[in-house]
A and B are shown apart, each in its own frame.
Chain A
Amino acid sequence: TQLLEQSPQFLSIQEGENLTVYCNSSSVFSSLQWYRQEPGEGPVLLVTVVTGGEVKKLKRLTFQFGDARKDSSLHITAAQPGDTGLYLCAGPRGSGYALNFGKGTSLLVTP
């Protein structure tokens, strides 16, 4: 089983602060995805990283895929209350049409 470990599990910060959350594995992944889930809603795909060392930006969010394709990070600059949610990383299973999800980082941004 290709496990994905996310840290921290919970994060509470004030508006305007920067933060980084991590997704780590001992396995190599062909790609990793990041989803954000707002309370009471389904997860929404934010980004897919495919190439080792790749950096993708989505407004104030910066995603990086590790050189060895075993880990990824999400950095948020100047967090806003609208960034509040559960951030999930996911990677493809070895076979079949399914993903392994990490347990997620629950982020709370207060005004």
Chain B
Amino acid sequence: GAGVSQSPSNKVTEKGKDVELRCDPISGHTALYWYRQRLGQGLEFLIYFQGNSAPDKSGLPSDRFSAERTGESVSTLTIQRTQQEDSAVYLCASSLVPAATNEKLFFGSGTQLSVL
């Protein structure tokens, strides 16, 4: 696609429910990142994929969070048993080459998650 696409753009859920957030990176981009942005705050790193592998999952806030990537393309971030503190914008980014070259990131518009 022309850019990084995220869906849904907005998600309202009840506390305790599970949610899935989807990211379609730019075609051919091998690196994919998830960040969380709480209201008025900076970007918090969650997880990075190189291909379909996640070398570092240490940014995931708790074991309720998981992510996967398939076909070196689409990635899904799943939050189980959502809590109100999970409310935030979840941003996905991709880059063309492995992150070791410190390539610039291309971001999607994010998914605004609201947990009631």
Chain B associates with chain A: no
